[in-house]
Structure 1
Amino acid sequence: MTLAARCVGFRTCIFSLLTITTLFAYGVLPAEAATRTGHPSFLQSMEAAALGAVSPSTTPQGSGSGQVMTPLDANSSGHDDIVALTRPTIVRVLVHFVGTTTVPAFKVNLEKLSWSVGATSGSQTMQIPYELYETGTGFVVNPNGYILTDAHVVSPAELQKVIAGAALLKVMASVEAGMTAKENAYLNRIHTQAQYEQLGIDGVAFILDHISMPNASKVVVLSPGKTIHATSTGAIASSALLTQIQNSNSNAVKAQVASLMQSGISATIVSVNNNFLNDEKDVALLHVPETNLPALTIGSSRAVQTGDPIYVFGYPANADFGGLNDEPVFTSGVIDAQKPSTLNTFNYLETDAKVSPGSSGSPVINANGNAIGMLTLGISNASGGDSFSLATPISLASAVLADHSIATSTPGSYAAHVRAGIALKNAQHCKAAITEFQAAESKNNVFGDSSKYLDPYITACNALIASGRSLDTPWDYVRNWVFNQDSFFWVLLVIGVLAVTAASSTLLFLVRRNKSEEQTIDVLKSELGHLEQIGAATSAGIAQTVSHPAATAAASPHDPALDLLTGYIRNARAADQTDEVIRAALATAGWKSEEIEAGFLALGR
C-alpha cells in the first residue's frame, strides 16, 4: 500500500497519484531510501518514529486480509423499521484532493536535537503536486441538505502528514550520506534511542507547522443506484464504474473517477475539524443544494450502555479497494465498551459490528432508529483476535450542528411520517398509516428511493383493509373483536346466554306469579267485604226470608229466595269456601236442607 493510501479509519483511498514513486520523481525521496539497510542506528530510530507518526496504528477493518462485512437482510423481521427510517438518509461522499504544496527547506541539529528552517545541501524548498480521490459515508441530518461525515474524509490533514514524513526521510537520507563513522559513533553515544525517536516525531510536527493545504478541492455526494451520465463523453456510467478503480496512475481510471465527480451533487464543506488527529473530534458538516430530504434523527449518546444493540449503514469498498457497492450495507452488533479518547475529552463507542473501508462517517444507530455515534476507526488485533470498531459519540456532531444553528428535528419530517405510519400500522389503523407512508414517500428521493422500503408497509396495510381487519371506524373495532374470538369463547358465550335466558324466564315467571297472587288477594279482599255485607244482611233477614218465601215469590216472577241463596253460594265459593262450610252456614242461618240443595242444584252443583 502507498503512503498516501494509509487512510485512518474507514475511508477508502480509491485512487492516488501521490505514491512513493511520485515522491521519488519529485525529489522528495532519494531512490535508494526504500532499500538501504546500513544507515546508523539512531537514524533508523528517527525514521521508524517518523513513519509511525504518519502511519496510523489503527487500520481499516479487513484491510489486507480480504475480510469484508457480512450484511444483514435489510428486509428481515425486526430490521425493516430501522431500514425504513434510516436507509434514505445514507449517502456516499466522494472527495477529490488536487493541488501543489510547498515544503520549505529545513535542517536538523543532531547534537541539540532540534529542527529549523534553512537550506542545506540535502534540503531545498520543494513544490510537491498531489492528487487523491477518496470515498466515505455520510448521513442527512436536516431536510435542507445538511450532511454529517467524518473530518478525515474531507480534511487534508492525513495527506499533509504523508508529505511531511516523506520530506523528513529525504532530509535524513541526506544527513546519512554526509556522515562519517566518527560522527556516527559520537551521536550514538551522546543520545538515547528514545531521544532520537522523539526527534523523528518532532520533525514531522515541525514540517507540518510549515506547510499548508486547502480542504478537498471538490466534494460530491453520489446518487446510489441511479444512472450517472459522464458529461465529458456522453457515455452512461454509474457507481459500478468504481469496481474497476484500483490504486493506479492510469489516466483511463482517473477519467472514470472524474466522470463520477462531475455527475455527483456538489457539496460545500460547512465545517471540518482539521485538528482531528490531535483532539480526535473527527466531525465534518457538508451542505448540498437540496431541500425536503429525508433526515436521520439525532439521538443521545449519554444513555448508551454496554450491551446495547446497534446498527450500521455504510458504503464499503471491498477489502483490496477493488470496487464500491451501489447500495449501503446494513450490519448490526452491540456496544462492547466505552473507551476514553487520548485527551480524555469524550468516550469512544466500541462495537463488534463488522465494518469495512469506505464506511467512515457511517451513523451508528440505536434500536429506536436514532443516530448515537459516527464510525471513525477500525482496530485490527495483531494477535489474530477479533477486530472491533470505534465510533465518536453523536454529542460531538450535535455540538457542531448547534454551532451552526442547524435544526435536527422538524415538523412533518420524513422520520416523523415514517414513525407515525409504523405506529398506526401496528395498531391496525391502516388507512391513516397509508396516508403517513405516502407523505414520507413524497420527500426528496435524490439519495435513495424511499418507496422501496415503505411500499411493503403500504402493501401490508392494503391486505389488512381487504381482509376487514383494519380498524378505521368504530364498527371495525366491533367486527374485528367478534372475528378474533376463538371457539371456546363462543361456547362460553352460548352457555352464558342460555343461563341468562333461563334466569330471566324464572324471574319473569316469579314476578308474574307474584303479581297474579296480589291480584287474587285484592279480589278476595273485595269479595270478603261483599260477603261480610251479605252475611250481615243474611243474619238480619234470613229468618224473615225463610219465613216468607211465598210472599217474596209472589212479588217477583223469579224466586227471590233462590236468587239470594245462589248468590250467597256463588260468592262463598269465590271466597274459596267449601260446599260443606257453605251448607253448614246456611243451615245455621235457618235454611232448610231441601232449599240449600235447590240452591246448589240451581248452580249446577
Structure 2
Amino acid sequence: MKPETGKVSQAQKLNEYTKPAVVRIIDYAVVGWQFNDYNPEVEAILNELNYQTLIGGSGSGAIISSNGYIVTNAHVTELAEMEDQEIADLAFEQLVSTIADYFQVDFHIAYDYMVAFTKWTGIEKATKVILPGGDILDGEIKSFGAPINEGKDVAVLKIEEKNLPTIPLGDSDEVGNQDNIWVSGYPAAADSNLLSPDSSLVSTMNAGQITATEKKTEQGSPVLQINAASTHGNSGGPVINENGEIIGLLTFRGNTVNGQEVQGFNFAVPVNTVKEFVNQAGAKNTKSDTDRLYQEGLQLYWGGYYKQALEKFEAVERIYPNHSEVKDYISNSEKKIGESKILWSDYSTTFYMVDVVAGLLILILLVFTFAGKSNKTKAAVAGTSSIHPMQVSDKTDTQTTTQETKPASEGDDNRADLNKDGKVDIQDILIALQEHQKNQNKDGND
C-alpha cells in the first residue's frame, strides 16, 4: 500500500523528484597574449588581466543515466568544439573592447592598433559540470549538433560518476497544445551578489504551458513554443511534463521588443530530436537505484512515515553520498521520527507473528491435553487387570517367582511423547491432532 501524499502538489513532487538531476554547465576558454609594442598604459591593463582573456558562458542540463550522461544545448558547449583560431578571434574582440572602454576610443581604432602588436600564445579549453551537490566534474562531449542557427542544437556530455540521479526522457510526439510543463535550470537572472555562494547550486523551476507544437527553425528542425519564464542560463535545461519526463530542452527565446526581452515566448528542442544524439552517444536512459530509493523515501516522508523514510534516505546516502537533497531529508526525518505513522505492512507483520505464536501455543496445549487423557485411560485399564505384589507358580517348575507390577502411569517420563521416541516433536503434535479429530468424529457419530 502506497502512503497517502495528497497534501503535496504535483508541482512540488516534480520539483523534488527532478532537481537532483538538473546541472549547471560552464564552458570556457582562456587565451594567453603577447604584446609587442612599448605602451605602458596598455601593458598596465594587460598586467591586470595577467595577459589573459577568459571567454565562455553557462547553461543548464539534465542527467539521463546513472553513469553520467547529460543532455544540453550545443550552443552551451560550443567553445569545446571550436577551432583554436575561432576562439582566439572571439577572445581578441573581448580584449579590444576592454582597451577601447578604458581609453574611451572607438572600437575599430582600438582594434586596428591592437591587431598590429598582439598575438595569442596559447588556449586552454574546459567544459565543467556543476552538480547540485556541489561537485565540479569535467564534461566530455560525446555527440554534438550545431547551434540553433546552424543545426539541431543538442549536445550529450559524459562525466565520470556512478549512481547518479536521473530524469526519464518522454515522447514529444505525445505533447499537446496547452499541456502543463515546467522549465528547470539555472537562469542568470536568479543569480545575485546578495545571495549566498551555495545558492548558485539551487536550480529554479518555472511553470507554464505548451503554446505551439507545429513551429520549425529556418533549418527545418521542429521546436516547441512555451510560455514559462526563462532567460540566459536556462539554455539546455529540461522542459518537464506532468509525468516528470523530459519532453524538450529550452533553447532560445523570441525576439526582443525595443531592446527588451519579452517573456512568454520561448522555444525548446523536442526530446525526440534529443534522443537522436543520445543514441549517437551510446547512452541509455535508465532509472537508477538512487532514483528509486529517493522517490520511495519521498512518498513515505510526505505520508508521515518518517521512520521508514529515514531508512530509504540513508540507503540513498550510502550509494550516492553527494546527493543534493538527501542530507536535509535525513535530518528532518530524524527530528520527526517520534511522530511517525506505522505502515499497514508493519501491522500485518505483527499480526502474522502473533498468529504464529498463538497457533503454536494451541498445538502444544492440545498435545498435553490429549496425551494426558490417553495416559489416564491406560492407567485405568492397567489397574483393573494387574495384581499387586503376588507370587506366581509355574506348573512346570517348583521354584516360586515373585513379580511386581507397576501402575501404568509410573515410568512415563513425558506424557506428551505420544510416539514413544523419547522426545516431543512435530510428530507428537500430528498424533495429538489425529486423536482430537478421531474423538470429534466419534462424538459426532454418538
TM-score, normalised with respect to structure 1: 0.41
Q: Is the 8 A contact 1:316 1:357 kept in 2?
A: yes
Distance in 2 separating the partners of 1:88 and 1:320: 19
Instruction: Select the structure of larger CA radius of gyration.
Output: 1
| Aligned partner (choices 130, 150, 154) of residue 222 of structure 1 | 130
Q: Is the 8 A contact 2:143 2:157 kept in 1?
A: yes
Query: More strand by proportion, 1 or 2?
Result: 2
Distance in 2 separating the partners of 1:368 and 1:88: 16
- Cα offsets for 1:519-572 (capped at 9, x unmatched): xxxxxxxxxxxxxxxxxxxxxxxxxxxxxxxxxxxxxxxxxxxxxxxxxxxxxx
Alpha-carbon distance change, 225 to 141 in structure 1, aligned in 2, over 3 angstroms:
closer
What is residue 270 of structure 1 aligned with on the other side? 142
| Aligned partner (choices 397, 400, 409) of residue 277 of structure 2 | 400
What is residue 83 of structure 1 aligned with on the other side? 15
Unaligned runs of 5+ in 2: 1-6, 33-51, 94-121, 352-446
Alpha-carbon distance change, 401 to 320 in structure 1, aligned in 2, over 3 angstroms:
closer
Write out aligned runs for 1:436-585 (5 A): 436-446=312-322, 448-452=324-328, 463-465=339-341, 468=342, 472-474=346-348
What is residue 108 of structure 1 aligned with on the other side? none
What is residue 307 of structure 1 aligned with on the other side? 178
- SS of the residue aligned with 2:279? helix
1:330 and 2:238 equivalent? no
Alpha-carbon distance change, 368 to 393 in structure 1, aligned in 2, over 3 angstroms:
same
- Cα offsets for 1:433-465 (capped at 9, x unmatched): 554443334343547343336765787776342
The residue identity in structure 1 corresponding to 2:213 is Q
Between the two proteins, the alignment pairs up a number of residues equal to 290
What is residue 426 of structure 2 aligned with on the other side? none
Alpha-carbon distance change, 435 to 133 in structure 1, aligned in 2, over 3 angstroms:
same
Alpha-carbon distance change, 432 to 321 in structure 1, aligned in 2, over 3 angstroms:
closer
What is residue 3 of structure 2 aligned with on the other side? none
- SS of the residue aligned with 1:395? helix
Q: Is the 8 A contact 2:60 2:236 kept in 1?
A: yes
What is residue 50 of structure 1 aligned with on the other side? none
Alpha-carbon distance change, 458 to 390 in structure 1, aligned in 2, over 3 angstroms:
farther
1:286 and 2:135 equivalent? no
Distance in 1 separating the partners of 2:132 and 2:266: 25
Q: Is the 8 A contact 2:8 2:302 kept in 1?
A: no
What is residue 222 of structure 2 aligned with on the other side? 347
What is residue 361 of structure 1 aligned with on the other side? 236
The residue identity in structure 2 corresponding to 1:397 is V
1:135 and 2:9 equivalent? no
Deviation at 1:153, TM superposition (A): 0.8
Distance in 2 separating the partners of 1:474 and 1:364: 42
Q: Is the 8 A contact 2:73 2:147 kept in 1?
A: no
The residue identity in structure 2 corresponding to 1:88 is P
Distance in 2 separating the partners of 1:278 and 1:401: 19
Deviation at 1:155, TM superposition (A): 0.9
Distance in 2 separating the partners of 1:456 and 1:337: 42
Deviation at 1:277, TM superposition (A): 2.3
Q: Is the 8 A contact 1:96 1:134 kept in 2?
A: yes
The residue identity in structure 2 corresponding to 1:83 is N
Distance in 1 separating the partners of 2:250 and 2:60: 9
Distance in 2 separating the partners of 1:310 and 1:469: 33
1:371 and 2:246 equivalent? yes
The residue identity in structure 2 corresponding to 1:341 is K
Distance in 2 separating the partners of 1:454 and 1:396: 38
| Aligned partner (choices 18, 28, 31) of residue 96 of structure 1 | 28
Distance in 1 separating the partners of 2:16 and 2:190: 28
Alpha-carbon distance change, 305 to 130 in structure 1, aligned in 2, over 3 angstroms:
same
Unaligned runs of 5+ in 1: 1-74, 101-128, 168-213, 227-262, 478-605
Q: Is the 8 A contact 1:84 1:418 kept in 2?
A: no
Deviation at 1:429, TM superposition (A): 7.0
- Taking only the aligned residue pairs, the percentage that are identical comes to 25
Alpha-carbon distance change, 448 to 474 in structure 1, aligned in 2, over 3 angstroms:
closer
Deviation at 1:375, TM superposition (A): 0.7
Distance in 1 separating the partners of 2:332 and 2:178: 31
Q: Is the 8 A contact 2:143 2:278 kept in 1?
A: no
Distance in 2 separating the partners of 1:81 and 1:378: 27
- Cα offsets for 1:19-51 (capped at 9, x unmatched): xxxxxxxxxxxxxxxxxxxxxxxxxxxxxxxxx
Deviation at 1:409, TM superposition (A): 0.8
What is residue 418 of structure 1 aligned with on the other side? 294
Q: Is the 8 A contact 2:252 2:268 kept in 1?
A: yes
Alpha-carbon distance change, 425 to 132 in structure 1, aligned in 2, over 3 angstroms:
closer
Distance in 1 separating the partners of 2:191 and 2:234: 14
Alpha-carbon distance change, 395 to 351 in structure 1, aligned in 2, over 3 angstroms:
same
Alpha-carbon distance change, 311 to 459 in structure 1, aligned in 2, over 3 angstroms:
farther
Alpha-carbon distance change, 452 to 362 in structure 1, aligned in 2, over 3 angstroms:
farther
- Cα offsets for 1:163-212 (capped at 9, x unmatched): 69x99xxxxxxxxxxxxxxxxxxxxxxxxxxxxxxxxxxxxxxxxxxxxx
What is residue 388 of structure 1 aligned with on the other side? 265
What is residue 204 of structure 1 aligned with on the other side? none
- Cα offsets for 1:202-223 (capped at 9, x unmatched): xxxxxxxxxxxx9982111235
Distance in 2 separating the partners of 1:84 and 1:415: 11
